[in-house]
Amino acid sequence: MLSEQDYIEASQILNVGVPEIKAVTEVESSGSGFLNGQVKILFEPHIFWKELKKRGINPYDHLQGNEDILYLEWGAKPYGKYSAQWDRLERAMKINEDAALCSASYGLFQIMGQYFNECGCSNIKDFVSDMQKDEPHQLKAFCSLIKYRHLDDELRNHLWAAFALQYNGKGYKRNKYDTKLQAAYEKYS
């Protein structure tokens, strides 16, 4: 688990307050980067669709029997429980390992695997390995991603909607991500 010192060091790297980082931690993963001894993940079937296409693989060729792990649009079906996500990922890996690994979000900050390069890793397998190590590695990846995307200003200035849009995409309003961040920030301030 992360120590207070880990948060302080990350806040210095990003030049933001500790409450801002703790707010993201709470909203993204309920404050835990692991579940049952494995890194907490959320498999995203609509991202898997895109990742397959990027690799020249026709998703329709793999759709039958995989409708729960492969679909075109976000929000088409519920993702299910966190405890079922590794099973879903493993099924997707049988279709294409790298595409599947890039299609899940990992750890405390639920960082999408497809952003491994922005997190300072040279390939998806190194990224997943780092996420599996411990929460400080997850925090390091988060700091790299925030710096790469220049989202430190949004955190520093509490521009929750702008941060949410860049971090979670257009669907953030549907999940009230920005208001959850604001509430979590106030809790830690």
Which range marks the domain in which residue 75 is found?
Answer: 41-106
Whether 142 is covered by a domain: the verdict is yes
End-to-end CA distance of the chain: give it in Å, rounded: 21
**128 within domain boundaries:** no
DSSP state of 57: -
Does 77 have pLDDT greater than 80? no
Picking from 66, 89, 106, the residue at the C-terminal end of a domain is 106
Q: Are residues 25 and 51 in the same domain?
A: no
pTM of the model: 0.93
Q: Based on the fold, state whether residues 49 and 15 are members of the same structural domain.
A: no
Measured between alpha carbons, how far is 60 from 30 in angstroms, rounded to an integer? 35
Residue 66 resides in a domain: yes
Q: How far is CA 92 from the centre of its chain?
A: 17
Number of domains in the chain: 2
Report the pLDDT value the prediction gives residue 52, as an integer from 0 to 100.
98
Mean pLDDT within 177-186:
97
Average pLDDT of the chain is: 95
Last residue in a domain, options 106, 123, 143: 106
CA 121 to chain centre: 15
Same-domain pairing of 18 and 66: no
The Cα–Cα gap between 31 and 37 comes to 15
Is 23 a domain residue?
yes
pLDDT band at 76 (very low <50, low <70, confident <90, very high): low
CB 75 within 8 A of CB 174: yes
Both 13 and 68 in one domain: the answer is no
Query: Is residue 20 located within the same domain as residue 48?
Result: no
* 88 shares its domain with 70: yes
* Predicted pLDDT of residue 176: 95
Residue 100 resides in a domain:
yes
pLDDT tens digits for range 11-36 = 999 999 999 999 999 999 888 899 98
Q: How many residues does the chain have?
A: 189
- Express each pLDDT in 89-123 by its tens digit: 999 999 999 999 999 999 999 999 999 999 999 99
Q: Is 166 left (phi over 0), alpha (psi -120 to 50) or beta?
A: alpha
State percent of the chain over pLDDT 70.
Answer: 99
Coil vs helix vs strand at 43: strand
- Give the list of residues 6+ apart from residue 128 with CB closer than 8 angstroms, or none: 39, 101, 106, 113
Longest dimension (CA), the chain: 51
* Shared-domain flag, residues 143 and 183: yes
Whether 121 is in a domain gets the answer: no
Backbone φ and ψ of 104, nearest 5°: -115, 155
